[in-house]
Structure 1
Amino acid sequence: MVCVAGGTGLAPIKCVLQGMSQAQRRRDVLLFFGARQERDLYCLDEIRALQKIWGGRFEIIPVLSEEPVASAWQGKRGMVTEYFEEFLRGQSCEGYLCGPPPMVDAAELVLLRLGVARECIYADRFFNRIPG
């Protein structure tokens, strides 16, 4: 199970993971969390608590796209999609994507390129609505 969350897209992904039954928690999970800067990362303590009770492998990969070079951040930088191949390495999986349309679109394309079947990719694109 590959989960890709961009910004506030983490909230629905977190709910899906929290709602999974004990039997489903034996599935391996890779959670890619894309944010602009370290200050934009949230709910990591809750995600780590869920990770501790998970029955299968559960890896969290935060990726920052606009973190200042001089910061103390030691994690991944760039776009979440840049790290899919490194972590997936030809594994079959389902993709659960939630966040801004450009990130979700890019993630979907890379997953398809890596051999994930279109019917195994579930996406929720967040659109900014302008009142008017």
Structure 2
Amino acid sequence: MEVSIQPLSRTLDFRPGENLLEVLRNNQIPISYSCMSGRCGTCRCHVRSGNVMTSGVAESNAPAVDGQTILACQTTLVDNCVIEIPEIDEIVAHPAKILKTTVIGIEDLTHDIKRIRLSLPKSFEFSPGQYATLQFTPQHVRPYSMAVTANAEEVEFHIRLVQDGRVTSYVEKELAVGQSVRLSGPLGTAYLRKKYAGPIVCIAGGTGLAPILSILRGMVEADMRNPVHIYFGVRSEQDIYGLHWLEELREALPALTAHVVVASGQAGGVHRTGVVTDAVNADWKSMSGWRAYLAGAPAMVEAATILLRQKGVEPDHIYADAFYASGV
């Protein structure tokens, strides 16, 4: 049996029943991966023709159809097929880790957002924009995006407190400096593409600013000079945070422009008012050739994705990992 890998134009032999990711790795085909268990999403690719079988939490031994997005680690090859691997020049492979971290800082960023800093027992490699799962107790587990870049000392998360939220209520009332937190990851595909040199738009809602800060900090470390526009949408003035970080990043990234958009703000005030996607729509007639990083509530990410595609941004160049509110 044969599997054709696009856009590499390579054909690989396989035996029916083999795992796609293993076939790719055994043949030195570049592909991003991390957890190997279908959770991180980094080995995402597309079936262009042929027959494969997928498995995982959402699917169980289900056939994939042409054009379907699949995870290579959860895909079994059963017949001749064509598989497309996107962005072969932007591969990340950070082996998944489970670390016992320690809370070293809890700080109020706004009336309902806390900055949580965790010390690391050893290095935790990830790409800017990725996220991890934090287990505060066996009953309190939730994914959060890193707000910093990878280093050997600590990681940082911004957590918005949700009324009656199971996990965030624990963070608000019981989490304390010195406690242990189990960290697992990295996860996610909305990581910084460092080889791209064109214009970038980042759209963040609320604590979606955290992964965008990580991406911008990653750009500084990589000495990227791209024109960047960040649109930071919040509900009200009291929800704004992180402006001093954005100012520091603007000094390091001269081509960075930050737009703060307040949904219930006063017209004529310091910041723009209205819906964050409306601000993007008003500023740009065409965004063909741009790359986009989106972070925030699923409804915002979906609306921004639709808008950006209308503006000419290629679907494969819109990067987002939307978090759902279940169990917050």
* Band of TM-score, shorter chain: 0.7 to 0.9
Query: Is 1:46–2:252 an aligned residue pair?
Result: no
Aligned mate of 1:65, from 259, 263, 272: 263
Deviations 1:20-52 (A, max 9, x none): 23431x001000000001110111101111101
Relative contact order (C-alpha < 8 Å, sep 6+): which is higher?
1
Identity %: 35
Aligned mate of 1:113, from 290, 310, 318: 310
Aligned mate of 1:90, from 262, 282, 286: 286
What residue in structure 2 maps to residue 76 of structure 1? Answer: 272
Aligned mate of 1:9, from 208, 211, 215: 208
**Does the 8 Å CA contact 1:33/1:80 hold for their aligned counterparts?**
yes
The CA RMSD measured in Å over matched residues stands at 1.8
Structure 1 residue 89, shift from structure 2 partner: 3.3
Distance 1:23 1:11 in 2: 20
Which structure has the bigger radius of gyration? 2
Corresponding letter in the other structure for 2:208: G
**Does the 8 Å CA contact 1:34/1:64 hold for their aligned counterparts?**
yes
Corresponding letter in the other structure for 1:73: G
Query: Is 1:104–2:301 an aligned residue pair?
Result: yes
Deviations 1:35-87 (A, max 9, x none): 001110111101111101114x21101111123x4x87332111111121333
Distance 1:103 1:97 in 2: 9
- Structure 1 outlier segments of 4+, above 4 Å: none
Distance 1:88 1:95 in 2: 13
Distance 1:126 1:6 in 2: 11
Distance 1:73 1:124 in 2: 32
Q: TM-score, normalising length from structure 1? A: 0.87
Distance 2:295 2:247 in 1: 19
**Does the 8 Å CA contact 1:7/1:34 hold for their aligned counterparts?**
yes
Distance 2:210 2:257 in 1: 17
Corresponding letter in the other structure for 1:63: V
Distance 1:120 1:12 in 2: 17
Corresponding letter in the other structure for 1:12: P
**Partner SS, residue 270 of structure 2:** coil
**Partner SS, residue 59 of structure 1:** strand
Structure 1 residue 124, shift from structure 2 partner: 1.7
What residue in structure 2 maps to residue 127 of structure 1? Answer: 324
**Partner SS, residue 5 of structure 1:** strand
**Partner SS, residue 233 of structure 2:** strand
Aligned length: 127
**Partner SS, residue 325 of structure 2:** coil
